[in-house]
Structure 1
Amino acid sequence: MVHGMEINDHSPRPPLGPPPGAPAACQARHHVLRVFRWHRGDPGDPAELVSGFLADNGLPVRSLGRTGDKDKTFGDGTICGAALYVSADAGSVMAGGSVGAASPVPGIPDVYAVVYGHTRESAPMVPQSGRWRLGSWIESWTREEHASAVERVRAAIGRGDVYQVNVVGHGSAPYTGDPGPALRRVAALPGARYGGVLGGDGWALATASPETLVEVRDGRVITRPIKGTRPATAAGRRELLESAKERAEHVMIVDLERNDLARLPGTGAVRVEELFAVRQWCDLWQAESVVSASLDGDVGLADLLRAVCPGGSVTGAPKLAALAEIARLEPVGRGVSMGALGWIGPGHLDLGLSIRTVAVDGSRAHAWAGGGITADSDPIAEVDEAAAKTAPIRAALAL
Structure 2
Amino acid sequence: MVHGTGSVGHPVTAPFGAPPAAPTACQARHHALRTFRWHRGDPGDPAELLSGFLAGNGLPVRNLGRTDDKKKTFGDGTICGAALYVSADAGCVMAGAELGPPSPVPCVPDVYAVVYEHFSKKVEKSVQTGSEWKLGAWQDSWTRAEHAHAVEQVRAAIARGDVYQVNVVGHAAAPYTGDPSAALRRVAALAGARYGGVLRDEAWALATASPETLVEVRDGRVITRPIKGTRPATAQGRRELLASAKERAEHIMIVDLERNDLARLPGTGPVRVDELFAVREWSGLWQAESVVSAPLDGDVGLADLLRAVCPGGSVTGAPKLAALAQIAALEPVGRGVSMGALGWIGHDHVDLGLSIRTVVADGTRVHAWAGGGITADSDAIAEVDEAAAKAGPLRSALSS
Q: Same fold (TM over 0.5)?
A: yes
Question: Equivalents in 2 of 1:204, 1:47: separation in Å?
Answer: 23
Contact persistence 2:65–2:299 (CA under 8 A): yes
Give the CA RMSD over aligned residues. 1.3
Q: Is the 8 A contact 1:140 1:332 kept in 2?
A: yes
Amino acid at match of 1:86: V
In structure 1, the residue matched to 2:343 is 342
Question: How many angstroms apart in 1 are the aligned matches of 2:288 and 2:24?
Answer: 26
Q: Name the counterpart of 1:370.
A: 371
Are 1:385 and 2:397 counterparts?
no
Report the counterpart of residue 108 of structure 2 in structure 1. Answer: 108
Aligned counterpart, 1:195: 196
Q: CA deviation at 1:125?
A: 3.4
Quote the offset at 1:386 in angstroms.
Answer: 0.2
Partner of 1:242: 243
Which residue is 1:12 aligned to? 10
- Note the residue ranges of structure 2 that are not aligned, 5 or more in a row: none
Q: 1:34 corresponds to which residue? A: 34
Whole-Å Cα distance in 1 between the matches of residues 4 and 319 of structure 2?
36
Q: What is the CA–CA distance in structure 2 between the aligned matches of 1:84 and 1:126, rounded to whole Å?
A: 24
Query: What SS is found at the alignment partner of 1:368?
Result: strand
Q: Which amino acid aligns with 1:195?
A: G
Partner of 1:81: 81
2:152 and 2:380 in contact (8 A); partners too: yes
* Letter aligned with residue 184 of structure 1: R
Please state how far the C-alpha of 1:127 moved relative to its aligned partner: 2.9
TM-score (norm 1): 0.97
Q: Tell me the secondary structure at the aligned position of residue 26 of structure 1.
A: coil
Q: Identity, % of aligned pairs?
A: 77
Query: What are the residue-to-residue correspondences of 1:224-235 with 2, within 5 Å?
Result: 224-235=225-236
Task: Return the TM-score normalized by structure 2.
Answer: 0.97
Amino acid of the residue matched to residue 342 of structure 1? Answer: G
Does the CA contact (< 8 Å) of 1:371 and 1:382 recur in 2? Answer: yes
Pair 176,324 (structure 1): closer, same or farther in 2 beyond 3 Å = same
Q: What is aligned with 1:56? A: 56
Deviations 1:106-158 (A, max 9, x none): 00000000111112322233532361000000000000000000000000000
Contact map agreement 2:9 2:33 (CA 8 A) in 1: no
Q: 2:240 is aligned with what amino acid?
A: E
**Corresponding position of 2:97:** 97
- Displacement of 1:25 in angstroms is 2.1
Q: Secondary structure at the match of 1:336?
A: coil
Residue 21 (structure 2) aligns with: 21
Aligned to 2:396: 395
- Residue-by-residue CA offset, 1:219-248 (whole Å, 9 max, x unaligned): 100000000000000000000000000000
Query: 1:71 Cα shift?
Result: 4.1
Q: Which deviates more, 15-24 or 38-47?
A: 15-24
Checking the alignment, whether the CA contact within 8 Å between 1:184 and 1:197 is kept in structure 2 is yes
| 1:123 and 2:134 correspond | no
For residues 326 and 264 of structure 1, the distance between their equivalents in structure 2, rounded to whole angstroms, comes to: 25
Contact 1:33 1:116 in 2 (8 A): yes
The reply on whether 1:288 has 2:289 as its aligned counterpart is: yes
| 2:323 is the counterpart of 1:322 | yes
| Equivalent residue number for residue 187 of structure 2 | 186
C-alpha separation between the residues in 2 aligned to 1:18 and 1:73?
A: 18
Do the aligned residues in 1 keep the contact of 2:12 with 2:18 (CA within 8 Å)? no
Local SS of the residue matching 1:141 = coil
Q: Secondary structure of the residue that 1:250 maps to in structure 2? A: helix
Contact 1:58–1:72 under 8 Å retained in 2: no
Q: Deviations over 1:61-98 (max 9, x none)?
A: 00001135344879x61211110100000000000001
1:31 partner letter:
H
For residues 25 and 268 of structure 1, what CA distance do their matches in structure 2 show? 32
Residue 11 of structure 1 deviates from its aligned partner by 4.7
